[in-house]
C-alpha cells in the first residue's frame, strides 16, 4: 500500500535551513526511540509541530506544517538497518568508541554534548544522496 503524501517534496522549503547555516544556529535536538527504532534530528525545539515526509522506506524529512519549512530528519530502523550500512555513523554512535572513561552521569552528559553534533553530521552525510538538495542544506546547517 503506497502512502499518499500531503505535499510534494518539491514544495518543501529550505529557507529555515539556509538561515540556520548562515547564522550558525546551534540548536540541535537528537531523540532516539528504542521501541520504534527511530532517530530524529531536529533544528527546532522538540515540541514544535512537525510532519513526517518520507523520501524512501526509512528516511524522512521533518517539516513544519504551517510554512512547509524543513526542520530535521527522521531515520527509521536506525539500529537494525541503518547503522550496519553506515560505519561512520555507527562509530560515532557507539559510546565504546568515545575513548572516554564513563564514571558518572556527568561524564555521560559531557560525552553526549560532544558527540551529538558528530552523530548529526554523519547521519546527514549518510542520507544526503537520498535527501537531495534538502540534505545539502541540512549538512550546511550542521557544519
Predicted pLDDT of residue 99 = 62
Residues 6 or more apart in contact with residue 32 via CB below 8 angstroms? 38, 39, 40, 78
Q: Given pLDDT bands bounded at 50, 70 and 90, which one contains residue 115?
A: confident
Q: Given pLDDT bands bounded at 50, 70 and 90, which one contains residue 15?
A: very high
Prediction pTM value: 0.86
Angle, alpha carbons 86-89-90 (nearest 5°): 80
Amino acid at each position: 500500500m503506497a502512502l499518499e503524501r500531503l505535499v510534494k517534496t518539491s514544495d518543501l522549503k529550505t529557507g529555515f535551513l539556509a538561515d540556520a547555516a548562515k547564522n550558525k544556529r546551534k540548536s540541535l535536538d537528537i531523540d532516539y526511540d528504542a521501541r520504534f527504532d527511530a532517530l530524529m534530528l531536529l533544528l527546532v525545539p522538540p515540541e514544535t509541530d512537525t510532519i513526517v515526509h518520507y523520501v524512501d522506506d526509512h528516511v524522512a524529512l521533518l517539516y513544519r506544517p504551517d510554512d512547509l519549512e524543513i526542520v530535521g530528519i527522521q531515520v527509521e530502523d536506525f539500529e537494525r538497518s541503518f547503522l550496519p550500512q553506515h560505519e561512520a555513523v555507527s562509530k560515532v554512535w557507539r559510546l565504546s568508541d568515545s575513548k572516554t572513561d564513563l564514571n558518572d552521569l556527568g561524564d555521560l552528559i559531557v560525552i553526549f554534548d560532544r558527540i551529538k553534533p558528530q552523530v548529526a553530521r554523519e547521519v546527514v552525510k549518510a542520507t544526503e544522496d537520498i535527501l537531495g538538495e534538502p540534505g545539502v542544506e541540512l549538512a550546511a546547517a550542521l557544519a
